[in-house]
Amino acid sequence: MKLIRFGPAGHEQPGVLLDDQTILDVRAIAFDIEDFNAHFFATSGLRRLEGLLREPTRKCLPAAGVRLGSPIARPSKIICLGKNYADHAKEFDAEIPASPVLFSKAPSAIIGPHDPIELPPGADTCDVEVELAIVVGRKMRRVPEAETLSCIAGYTVLNDVTDRVAQREGKQWFRGKSADSFCPIGPCLVTTDEIQDPHALRLYSKINDRLLQESDTSRMLFRLPFLLSFISATITLEPGDVISTGTPGGIGSAQTPPVLLKSGDRVEVGVENVGVQSCKVL
């Protein structure tokens, strides 16, 4: 399934994107499913959706022209991986990490997959970072590696937009990565049954049709089972939490000359079989 949230910003409704490019209107046949949030994932919501797809009276609407929000309601946590691809680690500070580097983004930074990215006043050193993101499906605390993949609800695309000056000045990453609109997510949450191998997906980023990043998730330094077990060993993960798995090399600030975001640009990021985002920069 491809879960989406559609409608005006702040008033999104849960839906499922179907193969014929129509949207199953979830609330139209299941008014008690308020949103794709922690409660939904914790109460077997995905199984409920599978049943709704078989309903003969299901209500669908055309997807064309419909605004998409983030495919999940605001999560309690967005945990990101720094330097999880060797080529990005080398272009960033040349240090390959011996263990996962974790940081967070503010949930208030989330926007939809085609909403505009708004640069803060004076921010002229901002980068695009394409990432495969995991959405947690059930509570995770001290979960062994062998059991972690069964805890995943699905996968989505996250653009870890970053202000490099703010990142360096604070000597920590939170402010430079958490500005409003610096976390486009979506377009869909693709359930795990549709992704045969999350470690074999092409991912890329473009600015104004110029290809910057192009890699494959097989190049991650720390793979998903280890990451989820490592994080849940000390941090309890809640249903609906987002884990973003790092970006490959090729970021704009490492180009010669640098290719940085500016007003009027069009940003495209995509992950194979998961989705493509396209955002204008303001």
Ranges of beta strands (E only) in 50-151 are: 60-62, 78-82, 101-104, 110-111, 126-127, 130-136
Per-residue model confidence as pLDDT tens digits over 76-97: 999 999 999 988 988 877 788 8
pLDDT at 181: 98
For the chain, domains (ranges, CATH) are 2-62 (no CATH), 78-280 (3.90.850.10)
pLDDT at 157: 98
H or E element that contains 152: strand 152-159
Distance CA(67)–CA(201), nearest Å, equals 26
CA trace torsion 86, 91, 97, 102 (10° rounding): -100
| Strand 126-127 with 162-163, pairing | antiparallel
pLDDT at 45: 95
Return the amino acid letter for 160.
D
Bridge partner residues of 276 (DSSP): 270
pLDDT at 156: 98
Per-residue model confidence as pLDDT tens digits over 27-48: 999 989 999 999 999 999 999 9
Beta-carbon contacts of residue 24 (< 8 Å; ≥ 6 apart): 15, 16, 17, 18, 52, 53, 58, 59, 60
Bridge partner residues of 78 (DSSP): 242
pLDDT at 172: 83
CA trace torsion 31, 34, 39, 43 (10° rounding): 20
From first to last of the 282 residues of the chain, give the pLDDT tens digit: 999 999 999 999 999 999 999 999 999 999 899 999 999 999 999 999 999 999 888 899 999 999 999 999 999 999 999 999 988 988 877 788 899 999 999 999 999 999 999 999 999 999 999 999 999 999 999 999 999 999 999 999 999 999 998 888 877 889 999 999 999 999 999 999 999 999 999 999 999 999 999 999 999 999 999 999 999 999 999 999 999 999 999 999 999 999 999 999 999 999 999 999 999 999
Beta-carbon contacts of residue 252 (< 8 Å; ≥ 6 apart): 127, 128, 207, 212, 258, 259, 260, 261
pLDDT at 56: 85
pLDDT at 183: 98
pLDDT at 23: 97
DSSP 239: T
Distance CA(248)–CA(92), nearest Å, equals 11
pLDDT at 89: 85
DSSP-based three-state secondary structure for 254? helix
Cβ atoms 70, 109 nearer than 8 A: no
DSSP 272: T
